[in-house]
């Protein structure tokens, strides 16, 4: 269980396999986000058709509603949401620390008020592990603090808590059928990131995550941090870059040793009527798609591209039909997952650099209406 | 083409088959409504899984947006919306007459302002047929006036127009691969309904519709009118009761000789978080479903009931997730279609009266939480 196999390495990029109780994850991979135990607007069948292998759910949201006891009572998160493939839950830390004036941090944990009804709750490393054990995901996350990225003094102080909490999470864990991943923090600061990657990578986590990125820093700052963390983390375990989903960042992340990504980007863009293609973003409101009989991406094999034209999708968007969000979500998820599968093939073939250069220039320089 | 076969008659109830260019319709049947070329919140694949055989689309809405030229350009409505089974379009009359202070009626047609942008348009019997010929549905509807049901003088005046327009629609029709249905009007007035059914039934329509019901009259008034129209219309053609979808009304309609129904009811109720079951309506917000591990209806074989619990569906509703509308729409459509299939079997077996009595008492007296 939780065996990690490196099938190929090409530069810093890795093609791996991670065994979980609900199936083998082939990496690099992109995981769509099902915040409230549903990837918004799509069914589990549609997710499978989009070739999703791993889905993320948010512990903070499910803890508040419907409550983890309800999900436990109904057989755990897989049965509850009808997704029998691997699931990852976050620790709830990111959401709790985002509550700003609704939370108080101490050395032992965080006391916060629900964004739903103002009720008071407390998360500690131990409670967060217990909650995730009740949810029953295949991969669970350590409780960490995710601070603003630019304050060195505060990041140093928060990092001490994150490291202490990581060790407490490992000690609190009881179930053996869940992989607990540690999380590297440290803002945009090379010294803190180096220290954190060494500390977290030195603990007995079967996988390591990189948190606190894609939270306001520049892309160059993010890529620089990834290089430091990549060099410091053990090669012998998978790495998960949290909350990153822009196509160019997935590619840059894979080139810097990242194996797993998650983000709301493809589904949120879909609900805002933007399609992701290998040649850039496509705003479906544009009048030029009014009678365009082509699929979103002629090279794409998703349900949406197999069955519908740009003109029809534009009509659904203009008419504010729910089906627009569904069909664009299916396509956008499929696109990011296909991109990761193509990178995997390129890594195995030893051509990831050429593939990435080609993709990044097409994605930057072409217009989707020309493909 | 458009052959109508009566497989069985049981009392006034009929089990028939209607041949269309996109497949055979077995009746009685319920058609879900895809106003803007999409049944709200469900894909064509999900509709097929719900066993839908016929889908309705609204000419008024599609005429205004995206425009019939766009749909024609893209190969017609079937190709546009990805639904290769039979489609029925209405004439747009119902929507135009609902515009109240935005329309002016004359003997030749109706001038109206778009609810979208206030632009002025005109529908005549000839233009409405031309529009529906561009859309390309299998069944198209005559242009009729649908007045308030309680004013005899006005209904008599409107009926003269509806009858004159029916003849003009027949004369205007060019395509031979579409079945044009006439529409009986006359409000709640037996004399007008008798006269209209005789007039419309005497024209060369391959099917006849009953309009102007379920618009504010009582259920008893509706059932009484159905009996008059049933006796006056020819048995040798299918009858379509427009805009009716409550389960008890479907059953009462079939018992009064109706073959085809359509309504937004199952999908609208779904988006309002109400499930239809054979034992009544189920409001998913009720706390009693919080940990209920049963499917919505244990006897139902739809995708939703095969895969999800009441507790999960309630969670999606409380969390305002789009998937709630999708999964409840799939179930509600499946329920009405199954009800019609069960009635068909009962008619063929000669037991429609017993089936209906049983269904109506269960639907009235039981609570879905007890099934």
Across A5-14, B90-99, B116-125, B284-293, least confident range:
B90-99
Smallest Cβ–Cβ distance between A311 and the set B74, B293, B303 belongs to B74
Smallest Cβ distance to B318: which of A65, A303, A326?
Answer: A65
Q: Percentage of chain B with pLDDT > 70?
A: 99
A306-315, A357-366, B108-117: range with lowest mean pLDDT: A357-366
| Planar angle of CA B161, B239, B134, nearest 5 degrees | 65
Show the tokens assigned to B36: 């803007």
The catalytically annotated residue of A230, A259, A262, A297 is A262
Looking at residue B100, what DSSP letter applies? G
Best CA proximity match to B89, nearest among B147, B45, B42, B129? B129
pLDDT for res A101: 86
pLDDT band at A99 (very low <50, low <70, confident <90, very high): confident
Q: Quick one: closest CA in B to A66, which residue? A: B315
Report yes or no: B52 and B337 within 8 Å, Cβ to Cβ: yes
Mutate: best of A41, A264, A307, A312, partner B, most B CBs <10 A: A312
| Inter-chain CB proximity B43 and A327 less than 8 Å | yes
Rounded to whole angstroms, how far apart are CA atoms A96 and A102? 9
Is B281 strand, coil or helix? strand
pLDDT of residue A371: 59
- Bridge partners of A274, per DSSP, are A283
As a whole number, mean pLDDT of residues B88-102 equals: 91
pLDDT tier for residue A320 given thresholds of 50, 70 and 90: very high
Read off the pLDDT of each residue in A272-292 and give the average, rounded to a whole number: 95
Binary contact (B291, A81; C-beta < 8 A): no
Tokens of A3: 């065996």
Q: Tell me if the bond preceding B28 is cis, omega within 30° of 0.
A: yes
Kindly list the residues from chain B whose CB atom is less than 8 angstroms away from the CB atom of residue A65: 315, 318-319
Choose the closest CB to B291 out of A43, A70, A312. Answer: A70
pLDDT value of position A254: 98
Residues near B324 by Cβ (< 8 Å), separated by ≥ 6?
Answer: B270, B273, B284, B313, B316, B317
Is 90 exceeded by the pLDDT of residue A57? Answer: yes
Closest-CA residue of B relative to A72 is B291
Q: Is the pLDDT of residue A368 over 90?
A: no
Helix spans in chain B (H): 44-49, 59-64, 68-73, 77-81, 93-98, 125-135, 152-172, 190-202, 219-232, 247-255, 265-271, 303-307, 310-318, 322-348, 352-365
Average pLDDT, chain A: 96
Q: Which two tokens stand for residue A285?
A: 């409101």
For residue A262, the cross-strand partners are A31
- What average pLDDT does range B63-67 have in this prediction? 98
Are residues A325 and B322, on separate chains, in Cβ contact within 8 Å? Answer: yes
Q: Is A191 a catalytic residue?
A: no
* Radius of gyration, CA atoms only, chain A: 20
Please report residues of A whose CB lies closer than 8 A to that of B46: 43
Decide if pLDDT at A370 tops 80: no
Instruction: Answer whether residue A305 shows pLDDT above 70.
Output: yes
Quick one: A307 exposed, middle or buried, by C-beta within 10 A (0-12, 13-18, 19+)?
Answer: middle
pLDDT digits 0-9 by tens, B162-194: 999 999 999 999 999 999 999 999 999 999 999
Which residue in the set A81, A312, A326 is minimally distant from B81, CB to CB?
A312
- Alpha-carbon torsion, ordered B196, B198, B200, B204, to 10 deg: -170
> Which residue's structure tokens are 């618009």?
B215
Q: Tell me: pLDDT of A197 over 70.
A: yes
At B32 the pLDDT is: 98
CA distance B58 to chain A (A): 13
Cβ contact B66–A325 (<8 Å): no
Of B38, B70, B327, the CB nearest to A290: B70
CA distance B176 to chain A (A): 27
Residues in chain B whose beta carbon is closer than 8 A to a beta carbon of chain A? 36-38, 40-46, 61, 65-66, 70, 73-75, 80-82, 290-291, 293, 303, 307-309, 311-312, 314-316, 318-319, 321-323, 325-327
pLDDT value of position B286: 95
What distance in Å separates residue A318's CA from the closest CA in chain B? 8
pLDDT attached to residue B329:
98
Contact A293 B82 (CB under 8 A): no
pLDDT tens figures, A264-276? 999 999 999 999 9
B90 is catalytic: yes
pLDDT grade, residue B139 (50/70/90)? very high
Tokens 């805009």 correspond to what residue?
B243
For range B338-353, the mean pLDDT: 98
pLDDT score recorded for residue B141 = 98
Given a cut of 70, whether residue A193 has pLDDT beyond it is yes
Question: Residue A369: is its pLDDT beyond 80?
Answer: no
Determine the average pLDDT of the residues in B70-86: 98
CA angle A18, A21, A22 (to 5 degrees): 90
Give residue B101's pLDDT.
86
| Closest chain A residue by Cα to residue B37 | A316
Q: Is B118 left (phi over 0), alpha (psi -120 to 50) or beta?
A: left
Q: Edge-to-edge strand order for the sheet containing B4-10?
A: B4-10, B13-20, B23-27
What share of chain A in percent tops pLDDT 70? Answer: 99
Distance CA A125, CA A136 (A): 17
Q: What is the mean pLDDT of residues B224-241?
A: 98
- Quick: pLDDT tens for A163-181: 999 999 999 999 999 999 9
Model pLDDT, residue B99: 86
Catalytic residue among A10, A90, A144, A297: A90
By residue count, chain A amounts to 371
Query: Residue B70's pLDDT is what?
Result: 98
Q: Is A367's pLDDT higher than 80?
A: no
The nearest CA of chain A is from the CA of B102 a distance in Å of 21
- pLDDT above 80: residue B22: yes
Q: Can you give the pLDDT at residue A53?
A: 98
Phi, psi of B25 (to 5 degrees): -95, 120
Q: Which two tokens stand for residue A38?
A: 């549903």
Active-site hit among B90, B144, B259, B297: B90
């Amino acid at each position: 269980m939780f065996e990690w196999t490196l099938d190929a390495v090409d530069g810093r990029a890795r093609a791996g396999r991670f065994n979980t109780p609900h199936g083998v994850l082939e990496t690099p991979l992109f995981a769509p986000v099902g915040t409230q135990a549903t990837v918004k607007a799509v069914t589990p069948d549609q997710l499978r058709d989009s070739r999703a292998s791993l889905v993320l759910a948010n512990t903070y949201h499910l803890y508040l509603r419907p409550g983890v006891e309800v999900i436990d009572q109904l057989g755990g998160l897989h049965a509850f949401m009808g997704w029998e493939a691997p699931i990852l839950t976050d620790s709830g830390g990111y959401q709790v620390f985002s509550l700003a004036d609704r939370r108080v941090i101490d050395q032992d944990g965080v006391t916060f008020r629900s964004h739903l009804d103002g009720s008071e709750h407390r998360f500690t490393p131990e409670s967060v592990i217990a909650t995730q054990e009740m949810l029953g995901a295949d991969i669970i996350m350590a409780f960490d603090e995710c601070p603003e990225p630019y304050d060195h003094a505060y990041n140093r102080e928060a990092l001490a808590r994150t490291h202490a909490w990581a060790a407490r999470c490992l000690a609190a864990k009881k179930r053996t059928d869940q992989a607990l991943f540690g999380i590297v923090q440290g803002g945009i600061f090379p010294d803190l990131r180096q220290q954190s990657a060494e500390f977290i990578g030195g603990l007995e986590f079967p996988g390591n995550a990189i948190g606190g990125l894609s939270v306001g820093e520049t892309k160059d700052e993010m890529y620089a941090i990834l290089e430091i963390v990549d060099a410091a983390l053990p090669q012998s375990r998978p790495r998960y870059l949290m909350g990153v989903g822009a196509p160019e960042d997935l590619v840059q992340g894979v080139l810097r040793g990242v194996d797993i990504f998650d983000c709301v980007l493809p589904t949120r863009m879909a609900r805002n009527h933007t399609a992701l293609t290998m040649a850039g973003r496509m705003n479906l409101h544009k009048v030029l798609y009014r009678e365009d009989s082509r699929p979103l991406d002629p090279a794409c094999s998703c349900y949406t591209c197999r069955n519908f034209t740009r003109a029809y999708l534009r009509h659904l968007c203009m008419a504010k039909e729910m089906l627009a969000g569904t069909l664009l979500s299916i396509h956008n998820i499929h696109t990011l997952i296909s991109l990761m599968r193509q990178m995997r093939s390129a890594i195995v073939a030893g051509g990831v650099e050429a593939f990435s250069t080609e993709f990044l220039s097409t994605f930057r320089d072409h217009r989707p209406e020309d493909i």
